[in-house]
Structure 1
């Protein structure tokens, strides 16, 4: 073991690198206990040592200190308030309310931990047992003793080539068995099923005569087969148990549609982009802005019952935004289940914030606003926050965007029009039937252009042929593209 120290703000920013394993003994601290821990840190008093098992480069499994780390994360995230006594002493109930000197000291507080390396399964188990008196076996070790044909099938799948040669998670203490147990439980029951030991055991016992030839058995095998194709080699994307479970559950749903074959490269690219975005947001700490990534990571750290469902909805949303063609694989219920429409209001609020900030920067230099400030501009910003669900509401949505990002800016960005702004113009031209005039060759070129732009956001070539459930996918994709361009304008502003 190697002794080490780390400032807790770095632990928070890199919380996606600390895996919280599922123990049979899952004590959950009450609020008072969490408050006392935070008070201890704020006073600068020493905490008991943490024990971390090194699983990769700067990757750890928390052997001892799970509840303490969760309390620290909750306080950093402004989800845990101080006690009345601590609030009086430190000037505010939440992290964001603390005096800068106090919050800086909190950020810099160092926890001491011993880093465990190169330990065998038996050595780790012995250490666990000595560290905490009477500590039972892990849930996966317990599950492995259940007499059930589902248990037998899960053990078989845990030796699948995907796990043997593609997954970075070391198969210590039945780690691969643990992952497949959860994937199988979600597939046999439903996405809202709990994944603690008691939940998993109940499913194993209820399926003591499970058949690998059942529909669930076939879906599990097909999903892992597809994961094996998606990942051609061992991937660092697959170094966290919950990530592997979440990706596998998503792919099982995709494989079951019978339409995903041939899209493996796109899916692999999506997974890479998703993990890059997640890591980037976690690194931002308090400055993180993507609610989906924040929520996704929270379910990993907190291990809540609804976690798997939350993660799947987020993955569906991000996948549909990344490549709308995947939304066409499913019926309307799955698109609704993804909650993609719920993103519209948040994206609209972010859009208004960017516009306000850009106006402030632009007017400071030029003396007037970049986006003309009128009642119509204000109303347009409110209107784009309404979800669209048919051609009529989509047409109104595009009209509002056209006013905001074409008419209200006039010629002020004529030499540097962002791509998403141009896309809005093309989409509106199509709706206004302004492409059918002039030279036949130019008309064909315009039609091709409008088809390409619309396909980018919908996977279809025309809004007139789009299924109603796909309009929210188009709306969210276009709003996110606009917000990205607004952010770039703000970053590049002098």
Structure 2
């Protein structure tokens, strides 16, 4: 890597028809513009008072004409351009500069002496040449080490195929349907969580530390491999179900539904109910809101627990698993005839739980009992129509049986 430090007057940097159009302030490792108006105003005030401004770092990416990516300094550069373009003024309570009034002034209304001073102010720019992608990303992370970058903004600057794959996922259709914006790489953050869950094959912690580890350990991630295809398959299903903008698709709901839909595709004939899944979810959210509008002592215990899981530590394994199981159980209760793939004989955990709750823990077979209440650790999920006789393994064809009655029936 070669470095070349040069002073650049603001009049040159701000020339919209000159170099400005050849400077990319938003290469893909950069965070979006996050400075407030007050921060921008403070920078302009500092320039007018001729205070030192930290140097900028640009990467030279082309010649004839020269083109640059901003590695560090994009917030300052955008603020300068914004001021020159008349998008904000100096605060109305600003003190005079060298006896000249600046309060409420924009660039065009500055006293001439101060506008000349602004135009002639030079920023130190370090131009990086002969650099590769990894060197630039490493420099960006080091330069931002003392700033308030969010964790996903740092991950977005990491080199490797995992970062590239996660970034590509944000272009999937489902992210155009969600109820949250992509402020500060929120789409990337959620997409990274989904990849992490797919890799594990079950609910796990998807906190920042876990995502950082995934990025570091998977720089050579196979974008054509089983995990990548699994993520895309589930995101495609989500996009097929949610065909338009759905405000209910908040961040935690996208994560929860990803787990549910992934399980559906793995175990069930999802095409049987695909056209009805959006209606089911919107109804679920309506019932949830109705429960939350009740006084806390009137909310059903499971809904109260669900409320807690979507309010705190939503990225934890415990929270994700609870939400997934709750949603999947509700879905199976709505679609009791949903078939398992490959005509499996054994009921899944969530099917058993749906049957157990529906039958209120009461034995339905009643061959050796008169309908006793069973405990979770001591009951059988029985096929009403025996599996050997063509009975399907569905919630509707399942029933609670005490062990004695199921054995009397023949264990079918």
Please, what TM-score do these two structures have when normalized by structure 2? 0.53
Runs (5+) with no aligned partner, structure 2: 1-31, 41-145, 363-368, 401-412
Q: CA deviation at 1:122?
A: 3.4
CA–CA distance in structure 1, aligned partners of residues 241 and 160 of structure 2 = 31
Deviation of residue 388 (structure 1)? 4.0
1:263 aligns with 2:255: no
The within-5 A match list for 1:351-370 is none
Look up the match of 1:206. Answer: 217
Change (3 A) 1:272 1:383: same
Cα separation, 2, equivalents of 1:216 and 1:159: 18
Deviation of the 1:466 alpha carbon:
2.5
Q: Does 1:465 align with 2:378?
A: no
* Structure 1 CA distance for aligned equivalents of residues 305 and 38 of structure 2: 32
Residue pairs, 1:169-248, within 5 angstroms: 169-238=180-249, 240-248=250-258
Count of residues paired in the alignment = 255
| Backbone CA RMSD of aligned residues | 3.9
**Corresponding position of 2:338:** 326
Query: In the TM superposition, what is the alpha-carbon distance from 1:289 to its structure 2 partner?
Result: 4.5
Structure 1, 294-303 or 312-321: larger mean CA deviation:
294-303
1:347–1:309: structure 2 CA closer, same or farther, 3 Å change rule?
same
Post-superposition offset of 1:346:
9.0
Separation (CA, whole Å) in 2 of partners of 1:121 and 1:330: 52
SS at match of 1:302: coil
8 Å Cα contact 2:267/2:340 also seen in 1: no
**Secondary structure at the counterpart of residue 326 of structure 1:** coil
Whether 1:250 and 2:260 are equivalent positions in the alignment is yes
Task: Return the alpha-carbon distance in structure 2 between the equivalents of residues 148 and 169 of structure 1.
Answer: 27
What is aligned with 1:150? 162
Question: Aligned partners of 1:209 and 1:319: how far apart in 2?
Answer: 37
Q: CA deviation at 1:170?
A: 1.1
- How far 1:163 sits from its partner (Å)? 0.7
Asked if 1 retains the 8 angstrom alpha-carbon contact of 2:291 and 2:300, the reply is yes
Secondary structure class of the residue paired with 1:187: helix
For residues 266-307 of structure 1, give each alpha carbon's deviation from its aligned partner in whole angstroms, at most 9, with x where no partner exists: 111111121112212222242344444333332222213322
Counterpart of 1:287 in 2: which secondary structure? helix
Q: C-alpha displacement at 1:192, in angstroms?
A: 3.4
Distance 1:205 1:126, change over 3 A: farther
Query: For structure 1, which runs of at least 5 residues remain unmatched after alignment?
Result: 1-118, 128-133, 352-377, 395-430, 432-459, 477-494
- Aligned equivalent of 1:382, options 346, 359, 373: 373
Cα distance in 2, alignment partners of residues 331 and 388 from structure 1: 19
> Residues of 2 paired with 1:143 and 1:247: CA distance?
24
Structure 2 CA distance for aligned equivalents of residues 124 and 207 of structure 1? 39
Q: Which residue of 2 aligns with 1:167?
A: 178
Residues 199 and 227 in structure 2, CA contact (< 8 A), matched pair in contact too: yes
What's the counterpart of residue 299 of structure 1? 309
Q: Secondary structure at the match of 2:204?
A: coil
Aligned counterparts, 1:310-459, within 5 A: 310-326=322-338, 328-329=340-341, 336-338=348-350, 340-341=352-353, 344=356, 348=360, 380=371, 382=373, 387-391=379-383
Q: With structure 1 as the length reference, what TM-score do the two structures score? A: 0.45
